[in-house]
């Protein structure tokens, strides 16, 4: 299944962004910053954490982005 293969290929990007956000958050706290100064983009890719069965069940992927 093509979609599953794409998710497998892209999943490390989510994990990298998550790790970078954690480091950025630590930096912001250590510098006493009350608000986020470094953008955290890991929230955009949560669908990459879906399991294979869930991905196979979804037939219309664009619907979740066009609402």
In this predicted structure, what is the pLDDT of residue 44?
77
**Whether pLDDT at 32 is above 90:** yes
**Whether pLDDT at 34 is above 90:** no
Q: CA 22, CA 18: separation in Å to the nearest integer?
A: 6
In this predicted structure, what is the pLDDT of residue 1?
73
What CA–CA distances, in Å, run from 36 to 12, 14, 43, 55?
Answer: 24, 19, 14, 32
Q: How many CA atoms lie within 13 A of 56 on its CB side?
A: 4
Question: How does DSSP classify residue 50?
Answer: -
**pLDDT tens-place string over residues 35-64:** 888 787 777 777 888 888 888 887 776 676
**pLDDT tens-place string over residues 2-15:** 888 988 998 898 88
Surface-to-core class of residue 57, CB atoms within 10 Å of its CB (0-12 exposed, 13-18 middle, 19+ buried): exposed
């Amino acid at each position: 299944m093509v979609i599953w293969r794409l998710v497998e290929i892209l999943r490390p990007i989510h994990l990298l962004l998550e790790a970078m956000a954690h480091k950025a958050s630590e930096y912001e706290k250590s510098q006493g910053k009350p608000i986020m100064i470094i953008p955290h983009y890991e929230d955009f890719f949560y669908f990459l954490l879906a399991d294979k069965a869930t991905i196979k069940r979804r037939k219309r992927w664009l619907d979740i982005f066009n609402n």
